[in-house]
């Protein structure tokens, strides 16, 4: 049986009609509904080879008989082997993966060594979950046998799912065939059973969106576990003499209690940043866009990539829009789209950054709209990711929220004391309160622990604070709301 199949050219119109008939306005809507890569859906519709498992999944969603539209093909030798195909339930890592080769190799080496717990941290949408899933695939030879049975995950991004330790621990143990009586489902007994199982068996656990397990209060910094049993569980595995299992955890917030622990030999913290220019080029190329040296599309795509500092989620959403109707791969048409003012928004950011390089760093009247570039960016990035992060910050640590909004007047990194002057001014203006040094320090720490600031040093070795272009775009919008 072939590992890869494609839609017969004569059946393409039938597929497009099925897309409309089933209420999917765009290819991106179908991809999001099925939690698969947009590039896979695009290949399917345009008669290019896709793995048969994905082919069948799309056919089922569109109500198509795969036998009527199928055309078997052989995979090229340089494509993923069947063993490398991500298991069911992997939704971030897919066949559009590019770059980060050295990082994957380094982190894989650590996990094969002493590292029991890997923390992947960074801005929302920066590719943390995709990297975690990529590492899981890369580690399959380390586990041997049927590695998919040794893999478990907990995704706390879904706010409807329970986050307490006892519920998750019981589910994992029962999935591994461990029988639990009602009396054995107490947290202390589950901790003992689960930790023992993980120490003695070679298992990989992926935990997404750990930030939803964290809490704090006005006196102490954010970063404690709302359920103490999670902290006890992680520290139990880190303190054990031997642990055969590995944990890969993604989080937008720093779990302070873990990184402050003394078991540094057994955990590693990795902060993730955007794709480099060469990785952006590889992504554009892999998804079917023309980025050859003489292509007129190349400079436009690179300008988009630079404006977003290689933010993977945004770039993938934009690529999906370019590949979908009405543009159908026409980068020039996408750039010149008058309805969305795409080029105008990018050019405004470029102009502001150029002025910042000339010393005009204050941009109090800037109206960046990078987080609202187009409808898909607004829906898939802004509403689903960025606004949630900002709303959570406003709810949890109001001072930090005010600070990031106030500091959005800066187009480029500035000294920490300049940021804090704005916080003092705004608290006086909004709440008629004085801002103590302690409050100022905590606000900075909270933004740093949530990776909403970018830290650097100037020529005098003074610490500078800046905002990712995408974060500044959202912060400007929130600042304007605060002012009114």
Q: SS3 sequence, 395-417?
A: HHCHHHHHHHHHHHHECCCEEHH
Please say if the pLDDT value at position 152 is more than 80: yes
Residue 80 lies in a domain: yes
Residue 96 lies in a domain: no
pLDDT score recorded for residue 84: 46
Are 61 and 194 in the same domain?
A: no
Task: For 417-440, give one letter per residue: b (16+ CB within 10 A) or e.
Answer: eebbebbbebbeeeeeeebeeebb
Q: Is 6 helix (H, G, I), strand (E, B) or coil?
A: strand
Q: Each residue of 266-284: pLDDT tens digit?
A: 999 999 999 999 999 999 9
Most confident of 221-230, 245-254, 432-441: 245-254
Contact (CB, 8 A) for 271 and 451: yes
pLDDT score recorded for residue 94: 74
**Where is 235: in which H helix or E strand?**
helix 228-239
Are 165 and 150 in the same domain?
A: yes
Are 215 and 128 in the same domain?
A: yes
Extended beta strands in 348-448, E state: 414-415
CA–CA distance, 47 with 7 (Å, rounded to integer): 5
Are 245 and 294 in the same domain?
A: no
Task: For 403-415, give one letter per residue: b (16+ CB within 10 A) or e.
Answer: bbbbbbbbbbbbe
Q: Each residue of 37-70: pLDDT tens digit?
A: 777 888 888 888 887 888 889 999 999 988 888 8
Are 320 and 426 in the same domain?
A: no
Cβ neighbours of 33 (radius 10 Å): 13
Are 166 and 251 in the same domain?
A: yes
Are 219 and 302 in the same domain?
A: no
Among 37, 52, 84, the domain-final residue is 84
Among 37, 53, 84, the domain-final residue is 84
CATH value at residue 208: 3.40.50.300
Cis peptide before 361 (omega within 30 of 0): no
Are 113 and 214 in the same domain?
A: yes
Cβ neighbours of 339 (radius 10 Å): 7
Contact (CB, 8 A) for 40 and 90: no
Q: Which residue reads 């630079």 in tokens?
A: 306
β-bridge partners, 120: 250, 270
How far does Cα 265 stand from its chain's mean position? 26
Residue 92 lies in a domain: no
Quote the DSSP letter at residue 280. H
CATH value at residue 18: 1.10.260.40
CA–CA distance, 396 with 361 (Å, rounded to integer): 30
pLDDT score recorded for residue 39: 72
β-bridge partners, 248: 118, 206
Pair of tokens at residue 221: 């910094």
Are 135 and 222 in the same domain?
A: yes
pLDDT score recorded for residue 34: 86
Residue 120 lies in a domain: yes
As for how many domains the chain has, the answer is: 4
Extended beta strands in 38-178, E state: 50-51, 70-73, 117-121, 151-155
pLDDT score recorded for residue 193: 94
Are 318 and 437 in the same domain?
A: no
Are 258 and 187 in the same domain?
A: yes
Q: Are strands 224-225 and 214-215 parallel, antiparallel or unpaired?
A: antiparallel
Are 146 and 202 in the same domain?
A: yes
251, 141, 274, 306 alpha-carbon torsion, rounded to 10°: -160
CA–CA distance, 365 with 483 (Å, rounded to integer): 13
Pair of tokens at residue 16: 């497009």
Among 287, 314, 336, the domain-final residue is 336
Q: Each residue of 311-342: pLDDT tens digit?
A: 999 999 999 889 888 888 899 999 998 888 89
Print the domain residue range for 174. Answer: 101-271
pLDDT score recorded for residue 150: 80
């Amino acid at each position: 049986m072939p590992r890869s199949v494609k839609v017969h050219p004569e059946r393409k119109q039938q597929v497009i009609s099925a897309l409309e008939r089933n209420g999917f306005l765009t290819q991106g809507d179908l991809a999001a509904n099925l939690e698969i890569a947009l590039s896979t859906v695009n290949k399917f519709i345009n008669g290019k080879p896709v793995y048969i498992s994905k082919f069948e999944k799309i056919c089922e969603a569109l109500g198509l008989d795969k036998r009527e539209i199928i055309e078997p093909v052989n995979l090229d030798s340089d494509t993923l082997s069947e063993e490398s195909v991500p298991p069911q339930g992997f939704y971030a890592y897919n066949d559009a993966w590019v770059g980060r080769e050295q990082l994957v190799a380094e982190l894989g080496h650590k996990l094969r060594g002493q590292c029991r717990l890997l923390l992947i941290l960074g801005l929302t949408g920066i590719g943390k979950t995709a990297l975690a899933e990529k590492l899981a695939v890369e580690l399959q030879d380390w586990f041997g046998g049927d590695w998919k049975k040794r893999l478990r995950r907990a995704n706390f991004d879904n706010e409807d799912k329970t986050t307490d330790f006892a519920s998750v621990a019981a589910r994992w143990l029962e999935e591994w065939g461990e029988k639990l009586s009602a009396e054995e489902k107490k947290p202390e007994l589950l901790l003992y059973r689960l930790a023992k199982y993980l120490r003695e068996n070679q298992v990989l656990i992926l935990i997404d969106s750990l930030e939803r397990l964290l809490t704090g209060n006005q006196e102490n910094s954010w970063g404690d576990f709302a359920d103490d049993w999670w902290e006890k569980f992680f520290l139990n595995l880190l303190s054990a003499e031997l642990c055969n299992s590995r944990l890969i955890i993604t989080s937008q917030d720093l779990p302070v209690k873990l990184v402050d622990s003394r078991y540094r030999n057994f955990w590693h913290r990795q902060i993730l940043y955007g794709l480099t220019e060469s990785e952006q080029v590889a992504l554009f190329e892999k998804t079917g866009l023309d980025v050859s040296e003489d292509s007129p599309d190349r400079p436009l795509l690179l300008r988009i990539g630079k404006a977003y500092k290689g933010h993977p989620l945004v770039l993938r959403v934009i690529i999906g829009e370019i590949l979908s109707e009405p543009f159908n791969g026409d980068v020039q048409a996408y750039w010149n789209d008058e309805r969305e003012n795409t080029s105008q928004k990018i050019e405004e950011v470029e102009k502001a950054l150029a002025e910042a390089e000339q010393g005009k760093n204050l941009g109090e009247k800037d109206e960046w709209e990078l987080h609202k570039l187009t409808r898909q960016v607004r829906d898939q990035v802004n509403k689903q990711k960025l606004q949630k992060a900002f709303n959570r910050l406003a709810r949890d640590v109001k001072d930090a929220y005010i600070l990031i909004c106030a500091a959005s007047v800066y187009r480029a990194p500035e000294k920490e004391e300049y940021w804090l002057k704005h916080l003092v001014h705004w608290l006086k203006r909004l709440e008629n309160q004085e801002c103590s040094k302690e409050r100022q320090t905590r606000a900075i720490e909270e933004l740093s622990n949530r990776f909403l600031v970018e830290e650097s040093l100037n020529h005098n070795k003074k610490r500078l604070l800046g905002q990712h272009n995408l974060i500044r775009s959202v912060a400007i919008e929130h600042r304007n709301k605060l002012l009114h």
